Structures are given as structure tokens and as C-alpha cells.
Amino acid sequence: MKYIDVVKGKWNKNIYYVENCIGQGSVGYVYKVVNKRGEKFALKSSEDLISLTKEYKMLNKFSYISAIPKAYELDDGYIQGKNIHFIIMEYIEGISLKKYLLNNISIKKTLSIILIITEIFQQIYDSGYIYWDIKLENILVDRINMSIRVIDFGGVSKIGQSIKEYTPTYNIHCWRDKPYYDDKSLIFSINMILISLLYNKEFNPLTNSIQDIIYKIKTSDFNDGIKKLLINGLIGDYNIEKYKYTVKKIIQKNMFSKSKYCSNWIDALYWGSIGMFIFFIIFTVKMYIFK
Amino acid sequence: MEKEVLFKQIILVTDGESNGEGDPIEIANMISEQGITISTIGIIGENSSQKSKYEVEQIAKIGRGVCELTELSKLQQTMQMVTQKSIYQTIQTAVNKELKSIINTEVNDLNPNSREKIMDLMDNLSDTINLKCIILLDTSKSMTNKINIAKKSILSLLNILNSREGKSEIAVIAFPHIERENYKLICDFTEDISLLKESLSIITTSGMTPTAEALEGALQILDGKLESCLVL
Ligand SMILES: Nc1ncnc2c1ncn2[C@@H]1O[C@H](COP(=O)(O)OP(=O)(O)O)[C@@H](O)[C@H]1O
């Protein structure tokens, strides 16, 4: 294996071999690195000390939530020709929901993912913080542990403090004039994730309005329960509990598509074959009578 | 009387280089000496010139602010990021100056454990200081297809900034204003999103890019009003 760089921590003196750059975010680069014992980590680098220090603090604060990457250390170093600060954290072998947009996942699976991330963001919210930078890229499907993971804690703020990192598609303030700085805005973001996954597309507030999306939903062939969920989520009608309750109900009742009798192709086949059978019987009976 | 802590910033948003009479770098220097930060955002596209990029970078450098080059679709986030970064940067410079005079060291030279508390303090400070931000919006002819997105971006910026604990006010200067005037104050400092929305609706595009003159105008507007304030 060839390494593109070696980083030695200024304070803790740990050495990491840099394999490759795995991502570029708003505050810096993320690299895949290994230590001397060959253990893999993600190294998140930044010149922005305030933001990175905060992220490290948040990762530690919420380390009891299993969806969050474990953070190991915060140090300074020299990488790719620059003096930077860095966090060493658990490397997550996963693909982001952004890539999932390309696959067609079933509505049921999509709703289950939504339920799981709602639980994660609720835990953070209940301890007095809001995860503002909700977006597809920050939600990873961990292929090894088959679980949902959330990364990028630089945009987490105490409730009542300002929004520092966000993505317009998922932020209610970019869509509406009337601001919400509470769990209604959180549900708005989560509901927007659901909309992106269902439509395989991310809507941009600079070129679309809430009304456009509501119209799209109304004229779609989703079942009424889902339509109502999506629209009320956009309007800002749900708090966390009510949203979770509604999603659960849809999953339990299996209400995914429009028709009551043909909810999927198996049903169609079933009713179809019964119809054929009856037709066949009538046909043979007729043959008997008129023989 | 208690003095409020205030952060004054000019954000220049342009898609080209200055072609007015004055020299924007010279004016930027003058503004910077008054303790006002100038950040710049260059909207870049396929035919952006090297010269225009260089100009916005230089203005931000002299203005001790932040420069970002962005495509139009990311303008909104970029405005917020530039504001956040320049607040952080200014606070950090101020804190470093203090540390230097007390213990002859900088934040970067402290180990991660000892600096955590200082970072926390700085983060809180960035949230609680009051903010006055003038947006200098290029409304020259080349902005015609971009102006609606620029307006929407300014509105969302105020909406996001309103989540801060400190007061956040935005003013907007359009340059040029019609053929004759180099610039015009479209909206005076406000926290009110509907007022801002209404004011922005009158903006139209035409003419050249008199950046230097507009910067000078921004300075006058900031100067006339802010005397009883402690500037970081
Ligand atoms: N712990 C990790 N494990 C694997 N990949 C990661 C990890 N952290 C970040 N990444 C990758 O790096 C990208 C950028 O990271 P992110 O934390 O979102 O940066 P920023 O805060 O700068 O936006 C992510 O989209 C992801 O692909």
C-alpha cells in the first residue's frame, strides 16, 4: 500500500499514514488513515479551530448514541503542505443516502430509515441540542454493522443558539419567511430527506417553492396517508412525537400505494388468477349445458 | 452607559471586476483602517476572468475579511459561511492579541485541552455580539439572470442570522443604481424579513460595475450612524 502522506500529531505524537482523501466538506478535507498497527480511522482536518473543536466536543458528548462515530483525539499537524487541526475518528465503511438516491429502495424501507434517523436526532434534541446540517451526505448506511450512522457534528448547536452549518434544501429558513428554531424545523429537515428519497431528487429553494412541491405530492400516486405526512411535514405541522407516530402508523398498516385491492403485483396476480379460474368454470359449465 | 459589542461588516457580492472610476483596493484600505471588515463573494461562471477573481481576493485581504468564489447556486450558503467565518476570524484575532500581551502566546500554540475553554468562549461570543452587515450587491447588466437568486439568497441569510442570540441587521446597497447613480441604499439596517423582501423587490439590473464608488458609499452609511459602539 502506498501512502500519500504521513501525519504526526504535535501534542499526542501519534503517527498516521494517509491512504487517500475520502471527502471534502465545508470546513476541510477528510482522509482515510491507518496507524502503526494497521487500524483504520477517518481524519477530519480543518483550519477552522473553533468549528473543529466544537465538533470534537459534540462527538464526545453524544458518544453514547451508537449511530455516531467514536472520536479518539484532537491534535494539530502538517498534512498535504498545510498546518491544520484534525480529529481522529472511527472510519465508517458505508455509503451515504446520496448514493442511495440512485437505487430504488422500497417505500417501506425508506420509511424505516426515516424512523431511525428521527430517533437519532430526537436523542440529540432531547439533550438540548439541534443537529442543523441534515442532508443526504451526512447519513451513511454502515454496510458492516448494517446500521444507519450520522456524521459531521460541526453544525450542532445548543437550542437557542445560531445555525452555523446547514444545507438550503433541508433548512426550513431557506424555504419560508416565518422562522422556526425548534423541533418543527428538525422535522421539516427529516421530512425533506424523505421527499428526496421518494422522488430521487433534491429540491432547491432557489428554484422551487413549497407550493410547487405540495402540488407534485398532491398529483402523485402515493397513498393518502403518505401524501398527508409529506405535506404536513412541509407546512411545519409536526413535532417529533407526532411525526414518529404518523410514520409508524403508515408502516404498520402497510399503506403504501393507492388502490385498496391491488397494493402490489402479488395481489394483482392473486386476484387475476382467481378471476381467470371463475371465468374458466363458467365457461366449462356453459359448455355442459349447451352441449 | 454599557457599550454594545458590535461587528461591522461589508459583504461585496459581484460577478465581475470593477470598471468605475475609483480604485476599489484603495477604498478598501481606507475602510479597513476604520475597523470595518470587508468580505467578498465572487460569483463565477464559465467566462469569469482571472482579473475579477484577483480583485475580490485582494479586497478581502486588505479588508481583513474572507473571500469565497462560488457558483450562483451556492450563493446562499456562501453568504452565511462568509459571515460566520469572518466573525470567527475577527474574534480570533482579537483574542490572540490579548493572549499575546498577557502570556506571549497564541491560541494555536496552546494544547487542545487548554484551548477548549477559550474556543467555547469564542463560539459563544460569536453568537452574542451584535452584527451589522451591509451587502453591496452588484446590479450591473451581467447580473440580469442572477439577480432573483441573489435576492432570495439575501432573504434567507437574514432568516438564518436571526437565529443568533445577538441582534443581526442587514442593509443592502445596489450598485449601480439606474444609469446615473453609482449606488443606492435599497434597504437600511433591519432585522425585519418582510421589510427586506419589499425593499429588494425594486432592484433592477443595468450598466457598469462601479465597485470603488459603492464601497465608499457603504463606508459613509456605516460611519454616519455608529459612534457609541465598541468595535471589535
Ligand atoms: N467517520 C467517517 N467515516 C467515513 N467517511 C467519512 C467520515 N467522516 C466523513 N467522511 C466522508 O467525508 C465527507 C465530508 O465529511 P463531513 O464531516 O461532512 O465534512 P464537513 O463538515 O467539512 O462538511 C463525508 O461526506 C463522508 O463521505
Give the nearest chain A residue to B111 (CA atoms).
Answer: A11
- The one-character DSSP state at B144 is T
Residue A268 has pLDDT above 70, yes or no: no
Point out the ligand 1 atom lying closest to the alpha carbon of residue A69.
1
| Element at B19 (helix H, strand E) | none
Q: Residue A233 has what pLDDT? A: 95
Q: What pLDDT shows up at residue A254?
A: 78
Q: Could you tell me if A142 and A166 lie in one domain?
A: yes
- CB–CB of B112 and A75 under 8 A? yes
Average pLDDT over residues B14-21: 91
Confidence (pLDDT) at A145: 83
The nearest alpha carbon in chain A to B159 belongs to A173
What is the pLDDT confidence band of residue B213, given thresholds at 50, 70 and 90? very high
Structural domain spans, chain B: 4-231
My answer on whether A225 and A100 are in the same domain is yes
Task: Give the HSE-up count for residue A33: Cα atoms under 13 Å, Cβ half-sphere.
Answer: 25
Residue A154 shares a structural domain with residue A191: yes
Q: How many whole angstroms separate alpha carbon A31 and alpha carbon B43?
A: 29
How many CB atoms within 10 Å of residue A246? 17
Same domain, A50 and A65: yes
Asked if residues A191 and A225 have their Cβ atoms less than 8 Å apart, the reply is no
Boundary-marking domain end, from A72, A90, A108: A90
pLDDT of residue B229: 40
User: What is residue A267's predicted lDDT score, i.e. its pLDDT?
Assistant: 53
Domain of residue A141, CATH code: 1.10.510.10
Is A262 contained in some domain?
no
Residue A271 belongs to a domain? no
Grid-cell match 475520502, residue found: A22
Give domain status of residue A211, yes or no: yes
Contact yes or no for B123 and A50 at CB 8 A: yes
Residue A110: predicted pLDDT = 93
Question: Within 6 Å (CB) of ligand 1, which residues are found?
Answer: A 22-23, 25-28, 30, 42, 44, 69, 89-92, 96, 137-138, 151-152, 154
Please indicate, yes or no, whether the overall pTM of this predicted structure exceeds 0.90: no
Tens-digit pLDDT profile for residues A50-104:
999 999 999 999 999 999 999 999 999 999 999 999 999 999 999 999 988 777 7
Helix (H) or strand (E) holding B2: none
Structural domain that includes position A156: 94-252
Is A107 within the bounds of a domain? yes
How does residue A276 score in pLDDT terms, banded at 50, 70 and 90?
A: confident
Average pLDDT, chain B: 90
| A264 pLDDT above the threshold of 70 | no
- CATH entry 3.40.50.980 includes domain B4-231: no
Can you give the pLDDT at residue B3? Answer: 54
Percentage of the residues of chain A whose pLDDT score is greater than 90: 76
Q: Whose CA is nearest to atom 25 of ligand 1?
A: A137
Rounded CA separation B186/B201 (Å): 10
Same domain, A22 and A70: yes
Residues A76 and A110 in one domain: no
CA distance linking residue B43 with residue B74, whole number of Å: 9
When computed from its CA atoms, the radius of gyration of chain B, rounded to whole angstroms, is 18
Between these two residues, A208 and B224, which has the higher pLDDT value?
A208
Q: What is the pLDDT of residues A18-57, one digit of tens each?
A: 999 999 988 899 999 999 999 999 999 999 999 999 999 9
A131 plus A229 within the same structural domain? yes
Task: Please check whether residue A240 lies inside any domain of the structure.
Answer: yes
**A223 falls within a domain:** yes
With both helix axes pointing from N to C terminus, report the angle between A183-199 and A224-235 in degrees, rounded to the nearest 10.
Answer: 140
Answer whether residue A283 is part of any domain. Answer: no
pLDDT band (50, 70, 90) for residue B47: confident
Q: Indicate the residue among A40, A56, A90 that finishes a domain.
A: A90
What separation in Å is there between the alpha carbon of A134 and the centre of ligand 1? 13
More confident residue, B134 or A144: B134
CATH number at A58 reads 3.30.200.20
Q: Identify whether the C-beta of residue B174 lies closer than 8 Å to the C-beta of residue B209.
A: no
| B230 pLDDT above the threshold of 50 | no
Do A75 and A129 sit in the same domain of this protein? no
**pLDDT above 90: residue A171:** yes
**Per-residue model confidence (pLDDT) at position B228:** 39
